[in-house]
Amino acid sequence: MQAAMRVVALRGANEVKSNTAEDILSATDKLMREILTRNALKTEDLVSCIFTLTPDLDAQFPAAAARAMGLSSVPLLCAREIPVPGALPNIIRVLIHAYMDRPAEHVYLGEAAKLRLDLTGAQ
């Protein structure tokens, strides 16, 4: 018997080398491709994506990377993380809503893995 499809929320984050458009786009592309691959998602499975950047990143919208990889029909939103003292710098985060019939695998790459040490074994 096949499991019913439901909307799930997937989280992920990646570090950005520097505040340049190229580095923001590259880090976003890598993060999105890893999330989609690990969760066997196609564009048509995606409901929406919300990207956030730490306050030190403002050279480009992460949504531009998602559009470049073909997510032109998916609603995308970019926002700024609140500037909490001591927070990890140079981080892009994403919250993806998608139709899935299995548990979500969250993806935290590079230094961003420190944000979710509870998931380290799954990385």
93 catalytic, yes or no? yes
99 catalytic, yes or no? no
Active-site choice (33, 67, 80, 102) = 67
67 catalytic, yes or no? yes
Q: State the CB neighbour count (10 A cutoff) for residue 115.
A: 17
**Any binding-site annotation on 11?**
yes
105 catalytic, yes or no? no
- The residue to which tokens 């999105």 are assigned: 32
**Any binding-site annotation on 102?**
no
6 catalytic, yes or no? no
- Paired tokens of 93: 């985060």
End-to-end CA distance of the chain: 30
81 catalytic, yes or no? yes
Report, as residue numbers or ranges, the catalytic residues.
11, 67, 78, 81, 93, 108, 116
